[in-house]
Amino acid sequence: MFDKISKPLISLVVPVFNADKYLDSMLSGFEKQSIESMEYIFVDDGSTDGSWLILSAFKERHPATILVKQENKGAYAARNAGMAIANGKYISFPDADDLVDPEMFSKLCSFCEANELDVATANSLILDEDGSQQVMYPSVDFSLGPGCEWYEKCLEKRSGGFWHCICPSVYRLSWLKENNFTFYEGFNGFDVPWTASILMKAERFGFYDENLYFYYRRQGSLSLAKSNKQKVRTVDSLLVSTNLLLNLRADVACKFSDSKFFDLLLIKRRQKLFHSLREVDDRRDKKICAKKIVKSRFFNKIYPLCSSGKEKLKHMLVYAWVLVLSL
């Protein structure tokens, strides 16, 4: 299945950064895939561990594998680099420290081919180190149709607690390029605006309600173990990504029968920003972050979305706290 093919059915683009503890398991899962027409592209994002050696050994066994090495620019830049050289009809972006079902890409590609889909998303399991697990997406009355319909149903059922995850999806590569979809480089945590934008644009979308992807929530991950510098960047990322979501809201209002669930998602971004600002340790950095938030008029933009007096009061109290910090 790893012989050189002129036009693979699907390209897998995997960003890799210091993942030598997990790569063997992921690569073993790739080798078990039942689909034959596949292209593997690994983008090493400046790893300092043994990741490159593991990838090189994999390429020796499977010469058609494409390896790219770049300085550390982040997972989104790595995905863009891989997407730029991908040759598949479809493309997917699994993470190096997760696992995939042996039938995942066979089932999703067949699903896309049978229904002429632009995007297909599989359900997934979120696995914690203590052994607990959670199904990523709720089971809703939806299989095929516009992505916005599935998105609205999920937001309604999960009250805004929707997992915006890039990994368990397959995209038609030409559709991504026709619509100028690329990943927003330079920040972390942009799965939300990417996923929301994809679902609002995709008229031919399919949800495959079977757990085919296994997302590991690890204690050592970037989101759970951050330096003060990373905490500051989290605040910056939330400001930029939330502004993208606010720009998307007009499209949401046109396509959703009721946009209150998307509004709730934006309000939850306020809560996430509040907690992220609290986590910044250095007082000077915290003040600088607070000034950025005030200058962005973030709270002014979110306030009209608050539907109750209680929510508006909570919003103003949080804003007052940020305002005091900025002085």
The pTM of this model reads 0.88
Residue 211 sits in a domain whose CATH number is 3.90.550.10
Name the domain count of the chain: 2
Q: Is residue 33 part of a domain?
A: yes
Q: Most confidently modeled of 27-41, 147-161, 231-245?
A: 27-41
Residue 10 phi, psi (nearest 5): -145, 140
pLDDT in tens, 69-94: 999 999 999 999 999 999 999 999 99
Q: Let me know if residue 5 belongs to a domain.
A: no
Buried/exposed 85-122: b ≥16 CB within 10 Å, e otherwise:
ebebbbbbbbbbbbbbbbebbbbbbebbeeeebbbbbb
Q: What is the per-residue pLDDT for 226?
A: 65
Residue 4, domain member (yes or no):
no
pLDDT at 176: 98
pLDDT per residue over 176-200, tens digit each? 999 999 999 877 778 989 999 999 9
Which stretches within the chain are classed as H helix?
23-31, 51-61, 75-85, 104-115, 147-158, 173-178, 191-201, 228-255, 260-279, 283-296, 298-302, 309-326
Residue that the structure tokens 């950025």 belong to: 292
Average pLDDT, the chain: 90
Same domain, 198 and 255: no
Both 213 and 232 in one domain: the answer is no
Residue 291, both tokens: 């000034």
State the residue range of the domain holding 54: 10-217
**237 and 274 both lie in a single domain:** yes
Q: Give domain status of residue 223, yes or no.
A: no
Q: pLDDT tens digit string along 254-307?
A: 888 887 878 888 888 888 888 899 999 999 999 999 999 999 988 898 898 888
If pLDDT is split at 50, 70 and 90, which confidence band does 224 have? very low
Tell me how far apart the alpha carbons of residues 325 and 286 are, in angstroms, rounded to a whole number. 7
Among candidate residues 159, 182, 217, the one where a domain is terminated: 217
Q: 204 with 298, same domain?
A: no
Q: Partners of 120 in the beta sheet?
A: 170, 206
